[in-house]
Structure 1
Amino acid sequence: MSSMKDREEGFERKFAFDEELRFKASARRNKALGLWAAEKLGKSGADADAYAKEVVISDIEEAGDH
C-alpha cells in the first residue's frame, strides 16, 4: 500500500509544481504586458512599475484568460 501512497504524493507534488509554474509564467506575462502598456500610455520609471503591478494584481483577483 505504501507504493500507492508514494505514487499519490508524487502526483500531488507534480500538480502543485505545474500550477506554481503556470502562475509564475502568467505573472511574468502580465508584468511584461503592463510595462508595455505603461510605455504606450507615456508612463516611465516608478509609474510604469506601479502600473505593471496593478495589471498583475488585477489578473490575480479576476483571471482574464481562463
Structure 2
Amino acid sequence: MSEFDKREESFELKFAHDEELHFKALARAHKMMGLWAAEKLGKTGAEAEAYARALIEQDLAAHAKAGVLGRIEKDFAAAGVAQSEHQISRHFEEFRAAAEKDIKR
C-alpha cells in the first residue's frame, strides 16, 4: 500500500467517524428538543419520552431539521403555546451545540 493510499484511507476513516459523531449529536439534540417541547406542551414521563422519540424517528425518515422544527411549531400552535419560529430555532441550536459538546467528550 502506497503512502498516498494510506493517507486516502485515513481521510476516509476520519470522514466516516465525523459523520457518525454528527449523526449521534443530531439525534441527541432532537431528543433534547423533543423533551423541551413536550414540557411546553404539558407532557411528562413516558408521554414526553414518546414525543421526543417520535421527533427522532421523523428526522430519520425525513432527513431534515426543518421537519422536526416544523412539527414542533404546528404542535405548539395547536396547543396554544406561545413560541416563535425564531425562539424554537434558537433552542434547537442551543441543544445541538450542547449535544455536540457531549458527544465529543
TM-score by length of 2: 0.58
Question: 2:24 corresponds to which letter in structure 1?
Answer: K
Map of 1:7 onto structure 2: 7
**Unpaired segments ≥5 residues, structure 1:** none
Q: In the TM superposition, what are the counterparts of 1:1-66 in structure 2 within 5 Å?
A: 2-65=2-65
Question: 2:62 corresponds to which letter in structure 1?
Answer: E
Seq. identity, %:
56
- Higher RCO, Cα 8 Å, sep 6+: 2
What is the deviation of 1:4? 1.2
Figure out how many residues of one structure are paired with residues of the other and give that number: 66
RMSD (CA atoms): 1.4
What is the deviation of 1:25? 0.9
TM-score by length of 1: 0.90
Distance 1:36 1:44 in 2: 10
